[in-house]
Chains A and B, each alone.
Chain A
């Protein structure tokens, strides 16, 4: 497929072109010292050099708070209105990393499992994803251990690679990606084929094929207690994770009207599974942390055929007590190796 070139210093021009073409442009933008995916409203805001934003792109498809129903009371009757967005705004996310992009098809399987969650899919359809290959990955990165790559294309409509001269090489991967190239006409030029592309290396930290067989056999193992005794049971890991998708549904209302709201939840919270009776199937930190790892590396694989981790390293880098999921899973792989 033909590749295109965006020369150094012309990113803003491309963004302007995309906005002129009717796209809402979302990119890593600084917010109080952290980077998050936000709509670009001013020149120079988009920071494609940011390796790891505080939160993943999932919130643009699966917002942290989302009404599914609005209703009004009228005596004993209730009038309801669905919260499903009719036609979400045409959006382009530019500057996510291949790991984040890879989380999208991974979550498609869940949101399309028998019941198709249009809240997710309507935004998916309205959104074009432009990922940027990682030229300088860091020690938290482990995409290559979970089947990804710093220049992976899964989930992306267009892949950008940094070039040695400070520009980017653009490779459209889908129809939506080609539409971006069209919209960028005048700013983009056809690549010469001689550009030197910068892509970093992410060393493989564990052998994924060793992990699941061990998990299958070791639901009960001292390892779980050993690694999780210090977990604070906060929800950071789940909330910053591109693939964590558990949510809660709650009503909020006054005497006249109300909303039913879907909001992010975490399996690390003690009340996540607590029954009305008080019985809690996962009463302790180790059982909850085990669920987090098991769900990603075992159950999701059984159910949907993919590992629910893309190796972005966010949960590790933002964990208050420095729990590192890569080390935890590498530990599993080691145990698997040594138990042979």
Chain B
């Protein structure tokens, strides 16, 4: 697969179809990889592909400094490629200017990351080029099991759980920076008139930040799990994201990152949406 990837990338650069390939390069350690930006065909040898290709490289697609250049190619796992769908639906990228190279993927991490256990895009979808064999998708039936387990606990328990989890947040904003869908040029926490989200990493500020972060990703999060992976305090951020994905799926029948044409759930409505909540 790696030869094919390098070959494809070289072709794309040589023919001038793209002027930049964003991919994975060798890391500082055999169990890591580092994003590489490749502009010259001869540098394609630097590309690697292995089970340590964690990063969701699509988060680079919305960078202002990379936005205006010509066409770019980005190496994606199936989960990452879902972000391209959302970015394009939200008009953050011009899909025509991005070549998505999807890599067939049997999961990353050692042991496998939990997101990989319920992956139905082991052969990536919505890509321009797919490299690697067709891999049978896994069942997503149990994808919300952890959400349900927490839900089964009583409210006071859940509050205590989250209070403890969020109290460990140090407000490094790595969750935001690593997220392909957190592309705002100025995050709400950086706006101070008024200061909606307290900037301090104390429990109250952390709750506001994490609630806001989850809410802003409702109906958008594609489940790449980068926020949770990069969190230096190991806060299970994906639990909240998954909860909202579950609500959006059940209530509005929408799953993020699959269909390019379906309207965005939080930017659309149906007159017959549930009215149960309202008195």
Chain A positions within 8 Å of B, measured between CB atoms, are 31-34, 54-55, 64-65, 139-140, 229-230, 232-236, 238-240, 248, 250, 252, 261, 263-264, 266, 269, 271, 284-285, 316, 318, 320-324, 327
Residues of chain B contacted by A65 (CB below 8 angstroms): 200-202, 205
Q: How far is the CB of B158 from chain A (nearest CB, A)?
A: 16
B178 A230 Cβ-Cβ under 8 A: no
* Contact indicator B232/A236 (Cβ below 8 Å): yes
Among B32, B171, B174, the residue within 8 A (CB) of A322 is B32
Contact flag A230-B34 (CB < 8 Å), given A139-B29, A320-B178: yes
Report the minimal beta-carbon distance from A158 to chain B, rounded to whole angstroms: 29
Q: List residues 213-259 of chain B with CB under 8 A from any CB of chain A.
A: 226, 229-230, 232-235
Kindly state the separation between the CA atoms of A325 and B55 in the bound complex, as whole angstroms.
Answer: 19
**Known A261-B202, A263-B171, A266-B172; 4 more pairs at CB < 8 Å:** A232-B174, A235-B173, A236-B174, A320-B174
Tally of B interface residues using CB under 8 Å: 38
Contact B234 A32 (CB under 8 A): yes
Contacting pair A318 B232 (CB below 8 A): yes
Question: Given contacts A234-B172, A322-B34, is CB(A252)–CB(B200) below 8 Å?
Answer: yes
A71 to B171, CA, bound (A): 25
In the assembled complex, how far is the CB of residue A239 from the closest CB belonging to chain B, in whole angstroms? 5
Which residue of the partner chain, among B28, B37, B201, contacts A230 with CB atoms under 8 Å?
B37
Q: Tell me if B35 and A234 are in contact (CB < 8 A).
A: no
Instruction: List, sorted by A's number, 7 A–B pairs whose CB atoms are closer than 8 Å.
Output: A32-B165, A54-B233, A234-B230, A264-B201, A271-B190, A320-B226, A321-B34
Q: Which residues of B contact A250 (CB under 8 A)?
A: 195, 198-200
Q: Give the chain B neighbours of A269 by CB distance below 8 A.
A: 173
Contact A230 B35 (CB under 8 A): yes
User: Known contacts A232-B177, A284-B65: does B234 contact A261 (CB below 8 Å)?
Assistant: no
List the A side residues contacting B178 at CB < 8 Å: 232, 234, 320
Expressed in whole angstroms, the Cα–Cα distance for A284 and B66 within the complex equals 12
Q: Using CB atoms and an 8 Å cutoff, list the residues of chain B in contact with chain A.
A: 27-29, 32-37, 55, 59-60, 65, 165, 168, 170-174, 176-178, 190, 195, 198-202, 205, 226, 229-230, 232-235
A243 to chain B, nearest CB (A): 16
Q: Are A229 and B37 in contact (CB under 8 A)?
A: yes
**A235 CA to B231 CA, complexed, in Å:** 11
Q: Give the distance to chain A from B18, nearest Cβ to Cβ, in Å.
A: 17
Nearest B residue to A314 by beta-carbon distance?
Answer: B232
Smallest Cβ-Cβ distance to A316: which chain B residue: B28
- How far, in angstroms, from A252 to B198 measured CA to CA in the complex? 7
- Whole-angstrom distance from the CB of A58 to the nearest CB of chain B? 12
Measured between beta carbons, the chain B residues less than 8 angstroms from A239 are 170, 172, 232
Contact A321 B172 (CB under 8 A): no
Given contacts A64-B201, A235-B174, A322-B33, contact A55 B65 (CB under 8 A): no
Q: Is there contact, CB below 8 Å, between A322 and B28?
A: yes
Which of B29, B226, B232 interacts with A240 by CB under 8 Å? Answer: B232
Residue pair A324, B177 in contact (C-beta under 8 Å): no
A32 to B237, CA, bound (A): 13
Q: How far is the CA of A263 from the CA of B195 in the complex (A)?
A: 16
Tell me the smallest distance from the CB of B227 to a CB of chain A, in Å: 10
In the complex with contacts A263-B199, A321-B34, A327-B28, A34-B233 CB distance below 8 A:
yes
Q: Which residues of B contact A318 (CB under 8 A)?
A: 232
Contact B177 A234 (CB under 8 A): yes
The smallest C-beta distance from B29 to any residue of chain A, in angstroms, reads 6
Beta-carbon contact of A322 and B27 below 8 Å = yes
Shortest CB distance B136–A (Å): 30
Measured CB to CB, the closest approach of chain B to A70, in angstroms, equals 14
